[in-house]
Amino acid sequence: MMRRAGRNVAAAFFCLVWIFPVYWMVLTAFKPAGKILQPTPQFLPVDVTLDNFADALAKPGFVPDLVNSAVVVVAVVALSIVVAFLAATALTRFRFFGRRSFLIGVLVLQMVPVPALVIPLFLGLKSAHLLDTLFGLILTYVALVLPFTIWTLRGFLHGIPVELEEAAMVDGATRGRVMRSVLLPLVLPGLIATSVFAFITAWNDFLFAYVIMKDSSGYTLPVWLVSFSTSTGTDYGGLIAASTLFALPVVVFFALVQRHLVEGMTAGAVKG
Amino acid sequence: MLVKAPPEAPPRPATPRRRRSLLPYGLLLPAAVLLGLVLGYPLVRLVVISTQRYGLRSLFTGTTSFAGWDNYAAVLGDDQLLPVLARSVGFCAALVLGTLVIGFGVALLLQRLGRGMRTTVTLCLIAAWALPNVASTLVWQWLFQPGYGVVNWLLTQVGFGDLTQHDWTTSPASAFTLVWLLVVWQSVPFVALTLYAGLSQIPRSYYEAAALDGAGPWRVHRTITVPFLQPILGLVTILSVIWDFTVFNQIWILTQGGPNDGTTTLGIWTFTRAFSGNNFGQGAAIAVVSVALLVGMTAVYVRRLVRSGEDL
């Protein structure tokens, strides 16, 4: 009995610490300008206002940058899932020359520190005339998430018995048909887990968006967010409201796929 | 004694497992092209640039000259090298340790909680995890702001003296603490949820058998939980090492590597050398050194992984 209570207290304390920054962000976003910068903080919502959100939305760049971010995220999720699924199928359903080397290569690429890639990628995109283009940014993100997504999906496909596909083929299904109607539904939780990873990477990245998109019409939301902080000071109300808006799509996406997410990651890890 | 003649060649299996075909190569092609062009090629280019005199001028004209080992000599001879290295490794270790210890603790806690409390903790973890990197970094700035930061207020109330005006970014130690708290806060959810998912896959019967044999909790932990979790622990650790060694956004936004370069890690150093100092050659050399370090640090794991499964 006592031990049980102790665990609950520990859990409650942990929750408090972990959720507080999120709570504080949302609370601040709804506070009127005069109540934000107060020496004595106010922990409960008393005067609620939407002014900060209005301010944030009025800041130039929001709509175009939001559109840029949305386009990039959708393209990255779709592309990376298709590419990784094909690759993972090849790696788990066929034995062929070069399979091992490919896998080791993927593992090593996962290890390259991202900031180290900035310079040569910048130069490469420059000579390919892809600097300042969303296309360049999309390609970059897809490649960045691929090692992880291939690895996770591979773990997933490992867990699905080949016999299921063979049975379908005996029944006369083509290989394409088998991939569509047998493999795809079974691997869905894995696809969801990897799509979350791709979504987050593309939605959140600051570094590449900052370096690749030099032209201010081509910013994505993370770069737009940072522009609230200038050398002359920070507009905290607007900034925090903007951060809340920025976080919203991810939270919604997470909430929708939450159950599959953990399942997906573990399958990738255990069987990897 | 005569050695028995080997039997006739064993009959071929009725159906060859896979016919040789080009299909797998076709399936791999898109991934190979993307990885090659966007990660592989830049990696090679990085090594090439690190041997060139590559400054702002080269960026515009496209002409460079061969510098041999000059960039490496400059970087390796730089007074900053040792502090930056020590900082990067020490910081990475502190982050990984913090994340794993707290994450594992929370995973074990989740396993032992009632249903309602477990859902609550999971939701808190997911909220923290879902918050975009840049957003949480900016929120962090806001929490720890001198004058109005709620954390300073709280610490003052609890009795650490008057900290209301304290600026966390003015001393390297407290600036690092600031970044550490942020990164650990951000990375614990992934680790905790992944380890918890692993824990929930351990068959109940193992624990029942251990209880029948009279094993204490510590013993159970050592002989069942940890070995079963090994693959996931390995993966989570290696990913944490990779991610924490290359933390960039959080440091850049919170401290820009300051004060007095006190939070400059290899990633920050690469970036400032290349983009602020316009010395891409030296920036690349620093990057190559850090890739080599990371590969070295993770080589043991990769080797074990490669050896472990013939089915890799």
Predicted ipTM of the assembly: 0.84
In tens, the pLDDT along A138-180 reads 999 999 999 988 988 887 787 778 888 888 888 888 888 888 8
pLDDT of residue A2: 66
Q: Is pLDDT larger for residue B23 or for residue B63?
A: B23
Q: Which of A52, A38, A43, A41 is nearest to A238 (CA)?
A: A52
Give the contacts of B163 (CB within 8 A, at least 6 positions apart).
B152, B155, B156
The more confident residue out of B44 and B18 is B44
Listed by number, the residues of chain B in 243-262 with a beta carbon closer than 8 Å to a beta carbon of chain A are 245-246, 248-249, 252-253
Whether residues B35 and A146 touch (CB distance < 8 A) is answered with: yes
- Choose the most confident range, by mean pLDDT, from B87-96, B191-200, B279-288: B87-96
pLDDT at B19 over 70: no
Token look-up 């066929």 returns A94
First to last CA, chain B: 43
Tell me the average pLDDT across A116-130. Answer: 87
- Spatial neighbors of A64 by CB under 8 A, at least 6 apart, are A217, A219
Reported as a pLDDT band with limits 50, 70 and 90, residue B261 is confident
Find chain B residues with C-beta within 8 A of A244's C-beta. 135
- Mean pLDDT score of chain A, rounded to an integer? 84
Q: Any chain A CB within 8 A of the CB of B170?
A: no
Q: What is the mean pLDDT of residues A99-115?
A: 82
Q: What is the DSSP letter of A230?
A: E
* B43 reaches A (C-beta below 8 A): yes
Alpha-carbon gap, residue B89 to B241, rounded angstroms: 10
What was the pLDDT predicted at B100?
A: 96
**CA B70, B73, B74, B75: dihedral to nearest 10 degrees?**
120
Query: What is the reported pTM?
Result: 0.83
* Nearest CB to A113 within list B122, B231, B267: B267
pLDDT of residue A271: 46
- B87 contacts B251 by C-beta, under 8 angstroms: no
Most confident of A250-259, B155-164, B248-257, B298-307: B248-257
- Give the long-range contacts of residues A95-99, CB within 8 A, separation 24 or more: A95/B17, A95/B18, A96/B20, A96/B24, A96/B25, A99/B24
Q: In this predicted structure, what is the pLDDT of residue A219?
A: 86
Query: What pLDDT shows up at residue A18?
Result: 95
For the stretch B45-86, pLDDT in tens is: 999 999 988 888 887 777 788 888 889 999 899 988 999 999
Contact A254 B130 (CB under 8 A): yes
Tokens at B2, concatenated: 């005569």
Tens of pLDDT, residues A228-244: 777 677 778 888 898 88
| Confidence at B20, pLDDT banded by 50, 70, 90 | low
- Tally C-beta pairs within 8 A across A and B: 294
Interface touch B197/A265, C-beta < 8 Å: yes
Do B255 and B180 meet the contact criterion of CB atoms below 8 Å apart? no
- The band of A267, judged by pLDDT with boundaries at 50, 70 and 90, is low
Check A142 against B133: CB less than 8 A apart: no
Distances (CA, A) of A272 to A79, B198, B312: 23, 13, 8
Q: What pLDDT, in 10s, does the model give residues B208-231? A: 888 888 888 888 888 888 888 887
Q: What is the pLDDT of residues B152-210, one digit of tens each?
A: 888 888 888 777 788 888 898 999 999 999 999 999 998 998 888 788 777 888 888 88
Helices (H), chain B: 23-34, 41-49, 56-61, 70-76, 81-112, 115-130, 133-143, 150-158, 172-199, 204-212, 217-220, 226-245, 249-254, 266-271, 280-308
Q: How far apart are CA A242 and CA A221, in angstroms?
A: 9
The predicted pLDDT at position B13 comes to: 45
d(Cα B230, Cα B195) in Å, to the nearest integer? 10
Please answer yes or no on whether A116 and B164 come within 8 Å at the CB atom. no
